[in-house]
A and B are shown apart, each in its own frame.
Chain A
Amino acid sequence: MGKYLLRRLAINVILVAIAASLAYMLAATTMNPRGAYEGRQPPVAESVIDATLDEYNLNDKTPVLVRYGTWAKGVITGDFGRTWNGGSVNNEMGRRIMVSLRLLLIGTLVGFAVGVALGAISAVKQYKLSDRFIGVSSFVIMAVPVFVLATLLAIATYNLNRGLGFSLIEYTGEYNPRLSGFDQFLNRLNHLILPTISLSLGLIAFYSRIQRNMMLDVLNQDFVRTAMAKGLRRRTALTKHALRTALIPAATYFAFAFGTMFTGATFTEKIFAWHGMGAWLVDSINQNDVNSVAAVTFFTAVCVLFAAFLSDLLVAALDPRVRVS
């Protein structure tokens, strides 16, 4: 098992390296950080621009492979280079990573847990009112893109707060810097509510559909019948035998869902004015910030592969048939 994990890790490292390199090459060849300096008033001398860009390793006059070499050398030693205006990418990333991870982790867990639970309920109560309600709601929610959902949530909260006359639920930023101690903690939680809902609602809908289908597939299988033939109640047979087995395929979707989560986080962060990795992605593209783009790619690739890895571990933990090999 250890050998297998190491091998798996090596493959993942290669995949991350290739993904980040491709993103860097693409960004370095198509983006134009020079533009930000050229249009300035008063005009800046070209030699000064060149010197600045050289310092940040962003000069398009340097051959792209040479720039790539410099960048790659930096990345190997843990330095992701400079942003378009000379800031440290590492510092920026350090600031933003926790913001995003907090959102992603909580959103994924809430989405997974609530989605699986709703899907299981839906399957057990097939064709009953609750099943239909869950089915129709998840269908509608899946048709609403994150950015529409987030905007709707923001509008609703705005109107709610205005109607109440005070801010019950916060809808911009991640915390109020004027508060401290426990108040700030509560404030942070309050700020989390809307982004988490907007991020996890789609996931909940997705998982409830998947889990319902998986459960229904399992419900008709012989072993559920065997469990009932032993004298277990239908409900016990369903939760102990059917749900437990149906969790395995759901776990394989975990990796896939996490990948789409990052895109969702981009919108959520942008709309609720969080300064996380997702928002950075949009900003760095708009600012022609080559090194930041590569850093964000690196981060997402690591996240996706980690999720895939986690998903494999989860499946192995749930399924003895996988474990033996």
Chain B
Amino acid sequence: MRAKVVLRRLLRNKQARYGSIALILLVGLAYLGPFVGPYDWTEKDFLAFLSPPGGDHWWGTTTIGQDMYAVTLRGMQKSIIIGFLVAIISTGLAAIVGAFAGYFGGWVDKALMWGVDLLLVLPSFLIIAIISPRLREGASWLWFVVLLAAFSWMITSRVVRSMTLSLREREYVLAAVYMGIPRWKIIFRHIVPNLSSLLIIDATLNISGAVIGEAALSFFGFGIQPPDVSLGTLIAEGSRNATGYPWLFAFPAGLLVLLVLSVNLIGDGLRDALDPGSNS
């Protein structure tokens, strides 16, 4: 019932509509695009180093003759996957930590919130930067996802905690307590579902946060390691020669901005649809 209302409101929301269309197109481009292109991302064309866009190489080639179109889409796939995974993990973590800290209070709350404070003080950028280049083996990017997620849940969990504090005093939660329902069950049945709009919005915005975070770390060579590519590594590569060979920079940077923009649009539209009282 409510889901239907939200969906209707979401579709009526212009921002969310454009955002969703853009995101679908971008994801489609990233995953279906490579099948259309003439080159594979691992291929090197030794006859065309740094050739500008056009003809054979739609988006030009790199210094070592890779096809920019194929490489950029490959990088985008990685960025999208990382974005989604990090958002899901960090939002889930934030919900659980925040709800337990808020509902149980006392020393549970103190311990958890102290941990949150510490993580907020630690420069996450630095820690990921130190660890992640040393995870070159195998599925290192999955570890990278875990690291990114581990450092991006704290602020949400504080919001969840403060909302839980007010939900805890709600009469329907008290009613459940007076029925004799165990506390962990109350958290999952009455507290977390009633935070769902916040969590959905937050997960959406966390996607764009993670995409930017990944690109930022990769920009300095601390994220995705070669031979693998992401939008961040490509932008780093391109920015060095951006004045002379703009296509190396323009395509990955443009797609990154579009990706983040479309996700943000959806997030903002969701906020309007889920929370009609808000003005954002």
**What is A's interface to B at a CB cutoff of 8 Å?**
15-16, 18-19, 22-23, 26-27, 30-31, 139-140, 142-148, 151-152, 154-155, 158-159, 209, 212-213, 216-217, 256, 259, 262-263, 266-267, 270-271, 281-282, 285-286, 293, 296-297, 300-301, 304-305
Contacts and interface: CB of A to CB of B under 8 A. Distances in A.
A252 to B, nearest CB: 11
Interface of B: 117-118, 120-123, 125-127, 129-131, 134, 155, 208, 212, 215-216, 219-222, 235-236, 239, 242-243, 246, 249, 253, 256-258, 260-261, 264-265, 268, 278-280
B55 to A, nearest CB: 25
A216 B278 CA distance: 9
A311 to B, nearest CB: 13
Given A15-B117, A158-B243, A300-B123, 5 more contacts: A15-B121, A139-B261, A144-B257, A263-B123, A286-B221
A142 B264 contact: yes
A112 to B, nearest CB: 19
A319 B164 CA distance: 24
Nearest to B212: A145
B95 to A, nearest CB: 20
Contacts, number: 110
B16 to A, nearest CB: 13
Contacts of B221: 286
Contacts of B129: 281-282, 285
Q: Report the 8 A-B pairs with minimum CB-CB distance, sorted nearest first.
A: A216-B279, A143-B261, A143-B260, A151-B239, A300-B123, A148-B253, A19-B121, A145-B212
Contacts of A213: 278-280
A301 B130 contact: no
Contact of A217 (B126, B127, B219, B279): B279
A152 B256 CA distance: 14
Grouping DSSP codes into helix (H, G, I), strand (E, B) and loop, the B interface class, with mixed when no group exceeds half, is helix
15 contacts: A23-B122, A23-B123, A31-B130, A140-B257, A142-B264, A145-B257, A145-B260, A148-B256, A152-B253, A209-B280, A263-B125, A271-B239, A281-B123, A301-B122, A305-B121
B219 A147 contact: yes
A288 B117 CA distance: 28
B262 to A, nearest CB: 9
Contact of B235 (A148, A158, A259, A282): A148
A202 to B, nearest CB: 10
A256 B155 contact: yes
A215 B7 CA distance: 28
B126 to A, nearest CB: 6
A213 B272 CA distance: 12
B232 to A, nearest CB: 9
A216 B271 CA distance: 15
Contacts of A31: 130
B256 to A, nearest CB: 7
B191 to A, nearest CB: 24
A121 to B, nearest CB: 15
Contact of A282 (B155, B220, B278): B220
A82 B215 CA distance: 32
A172 to B, nearest CB: 13
B249 to A, nearest CB: 7
A263 B122 CA distance: 12
A150 to B, nearest CB: 9
B131 A22 contact: no
Contacts of A146: 216
A154 B243 CA distance: 9
Given A143-B257, A145-B215, A282-B220, A296 B120 contact: no
Contact of B121 (A147, A216, A301): A301
A219 to B, nearest CB: 8
A189 B99 CA distance: 49
B126 A143 contact: no
Nearest to B131: A30
Contacts of A159: 243
Given A15-B118, A148-B235, A148-B257, A297 B219 contact: no
B208 A143 contact: yes
Contact of A143 (B239, B243, B249, B264): B264
Contact of B216 (A259, A263, A293): A263
Given A15-B117, A27-B130, A155 B243 contact: yes
Contacts of B216: 145-147, 263, 267
A297 B122 CA distance: 7
B140 to A, nearest CB: 14
A120 B203 CA distance: 28
B258 to A, nearest CB: 8
A92 to B, nearest CB: 16
Contacts of A270: 220
A231 B263 CA distance: 44
Contacts of A142: 264
